[in-house]
Amino acid sequence: MSLVKTFDEEVLIEEQGFDDHFHEHHHEDKYKSSFIFKYIFSLDHKIIARQFLFTGIFWALIGAAMSVIFRLQLGFPDESVAWLKPFLGRWIMINEETGMGTLDPQFYYALVTMHGTIIVFFVLTAGLSGTFSNLLIPLQIGARDMASPLLNMLSYWFFFLAGVVMFFSLFLSTGPFSGGWVAYPPLSALPQASSGSGAGMTLWLVSLTFFVVSVLLGGINYITTVLNLRTKGMSLWKMPLTIWSFFITAIIGLLSFPVLVSGFFLLMSDRSLGTSFYLSDIFINGQALDYVGGSPILYQHLFWFLGHPEVYIIILPAMGIVSEVLSVHARKPIFGYKAMVYSIASIAFLSFIVWAHHMFMSGVNPFISNFFVVFTLIIAVPSAVKVFNWITTLWGGSIRLNSPMLFAIGFVSLFISGGLTGIFLGNSALDIQLHDTYFVVAHFHIVMGVAAFFGMFAGIYHWFPKMFGRFMNETLGRIHFWITLIGAYMIFWPMHYLGMAGVPRRYYRFDSFDAFGQFTTMNEFITIAAIIVFFAQVLFVVNFIWSINHGKEQTTKNPWLATTLEWTTPIKAGHGNWEGNIPTVHRWAYDYGKDGEDYIPQYIPLTEKEKAEIDNH
């Protein structure tokens, strides 16, 4: 008789659980007043999580479609794109004689810029961390909701507002901002330098400022919730790795995003108040400007002080999700739980003192780069520890290879491939050659782009039942996985070679240089792969939307036989998550395969034998 079955879960939770007098205060869901407050201006973290996810998917489709358009330009620069005229209007230039349509270089750069901004901030920050932090923090620590549901709601609506402003900027006659997602001045400061640096840049700055407000409101809430609202027995060392990663991600965000905003404020005042924080000695459009004494490099310091932690803000939640998914579906404890926590924490700490490795070639004193090289390459150690721990988690497991698990394994592969190239780029001497080439594009797309998406997909397939009470279709999930994994490697692996051949990133076409124009076939190949992968994501979205109402129904509370608390709520949980008492926690989240048991959920009390073991330690 298995331990799980000896207990009746509901009885156990009622008996052992923590009574917070929820019912006396709330009598059902007191917020359940109308459609608008239940589904739109909702205070329920589960609804807000879904709002983040839907918005994230919307932006992911836009960002991905943009990449397909600029990949067409790079793969087939001499093919007519006149057929895009109905969508892009005057950004497609038609040659009157031949009818040949070409993409305006200005808009090419706008697409590249928007692709980066949208994917980094709206999809992989809000869509990934926003979705899963909201969904899982209260559910996995045993809380009824976030510490402040109101701030949580505002967090989403500020994100929404940021999206509205950014979306609007796509339709400006001067085009959206086109100076790269890093928005380095003077290019981003001077409308004379690029038409996208006019109104497009103003809206970009406004949008991202709203976005940072959203991140801060969310982050402070996640931190408070994790620190204060854990259920009885849920000590920090009993938290699942998902919670650890969301918690630390929120701390990083809270400490680094304000610096970005201060950088933005200085840029705004250079743009509109005539200050010279970033500008000096500029002659443009036949005119010497009045700015003197500013330094464009100052902006880069402020930007990358966020910008580098930002990549961990993106990847840490994915790591947490993958750790959880690997463990559940391998039916094994995550290997080296404490080492995993310490490595998340040390990666987070180090992420604050490596920012200038983006700036080795930007004119900073070469001496100072020594420190940044050392700190940067130290990050490889906790990252390696994580990889070895994930692989060892698989060792000796009893692995279910379903869609979430496949994506989690794919994540580990991508994280290895993309992480290793970081060792090249972090070494300043190699960065002399590789900086701003396609090698960099390959590196960060694999390690924080595709890998983070894989973490997100693993999470979506895994927790879809928690969100919608149904499963996503497995077969479509596997098709999605294989096309995406193979396709992603077909897109980004060859880019290493482009980079090693010296081809710079952000080129509208390569044939202006003999040295860069020799990879026509490779660029066609990459573009075709990108188109196929794009359609695979459409397949995912169809599966996602269709499954919400038509997917296989969830019949048991705990379909994956997982140990964590989110699977103890009713299938369609209302606001407040648990109808009765909140479960109390007795053990960590990874008792899989212990003492011959398949799994022992966290709410199950320790056996006499286990108590004795703990006493002995």
Partner 1 sequence: MIGLLIVGILVLITIIAIQIGKVTDLTSEIRGEEVVAQRITENQSRWLLVFCAVFLIYCVASAIYYKNSMLGYGPHEAASAHGVRIDGLFNTTLLFTGIVFIATHIALFWFAFKYRRKEGVKSKFFAHNTTLEYVWTGVPAVVMVLLVVNGLVVWNDVMPDIDPSEEVIEFEATGYQFAWDIRYPGPDGKLGTKNFRLIDGANNPLGQDWSDIKNVDDFHATEIYLPVNKKVRVQITAKDVLHNFYLPHFRLKMDAVPGIPTYFVFTPTKTTEEYREELSKYPEWQVPYDESDPNGPQRWELFDYELACAELCGKGHYSMKRIVKIVSEEEYNDWLAQQTSYYVQNVRNTDNDPFKGQLLDYEVAARSAELESEFESAIIMDDPSEASIRLTNVFFNTGSAELKADSKYELDKVAEILKDYSDVSIEISGHTDNTGNTDSNLILSDERAKTVTNYLINKGIVASRLKSVGFGEARPADTNDTAEGRQNNRRIEMRIISQNI
- Residues 178-217, interacting with partner 1 (CB under 8 A): 178-180, 184-187, 190, 193-194
Per CB under 8 A, does 400 bind partner 1? yes
539 binds partner 1 (CB under 8 A): yes
Tokens of 19: 């009574």
Query: Counting contacts by CB under 8 A, is residue 412 touching partner 1?
Result: yes
Site string for partner 1, 416-445 (x = CB under 8 A): xx--xx-xx--xxxx-xx-xxx--------
Distances (CA, A) of 206 to 42, 53, 56, 264: 25, 22, 19, 9
Give least dist CB 204 to partner 1, A: 15
**And the tokens for 60?**
């992911």
Binding flag, residue 257, partner 1 (CB under 8 A) = no
For partner 1, the closer CB: 151 or 561:
561
- Is 237 among the residues that bind partner 1 (CB under 8 A)? no
- Within 8 A by CB and 6+ apart from 346, the residues are 382
401 binds partner 1 (CB under 8 A): yes
Which pairs with CB-CB distance under 8 Å and at least 24 residues apart come from 597-600? Answer: 597/2, 597/3, 597/4, 598/2, 598/4, 598/331, 598/561, 599/4, 599/331, 599/561, 599/562, 599/563, 600/3, 600/4, 600/563
Give yes or no for residue 86 binding partner 1 (CB under 8 A): yes
Alpha carbons within 13 A on the beta-carbon side of 323: 32
Q: Work out how close the CB of 461 gets to partner 1 at its nearest, in angstroms, rounded to a whole number.
A: 13
Which residues neighbour 70 within 8 Å (Cβ) at sequence distance 6 or greater? 103, 108, 111, 112, 115
Which listed range, 35-43, 123-131, 132-140, 379-387, lies at the site for partner 1 (CB under 8 A)? 379-387
Q: Which of 38, 232, 301, 331 binds partner 1 (CB under 8 A)?
A: 331
Q: Which amino acid is at 226?
A: V
- Count residues near partner 1 (CB under 8 A): 136
Q: Tell the smallest beta-carbon distance from residue 479 to partner 1 (Å).
A: 8
Residues in region 11-40 near partner 1 by CB under 8 A: none
Per CB under 8 A, which of residues 268..307 are in contact with partner 1? 279-284, 286, 288, 292, 294-297
Angle at 474 between CA 413 and CA 391, to 5 degrees: 25
> Site for partner 1 (CB under 8 A): which residue of 153, 243, 485, 526?
485
Q: Phi/psi of residue 553, each to 5°? A: -75, 145
User: Is 550 a binder of partner 1 (CB under 8 A)?
Assistant: yes
Alpha helices, DSSP H only, in 170-240? 199-228
> Least Å distance between CB 304 and partner 1?
14
Residue 511 to residue 507: CA distance in whole angstroms: 10
Query: Which amino acid, 14?
Result: E
Tell me how far, at minimum, the Cβ of 367 lies from partner 1, in Å.
8
Select from 115, 230, 332, 462 the one that contacts partner 1 (CB under 8 A). 332
Four-CA torsion 473, 475, 478, 482, nearest 10 degrees: -130
Binding flags for partner 1, 109-138, as an x/- string (CB under 8 A): x-----------------------------
Residue 514 binds partner 1 (CB under 8 A): yes
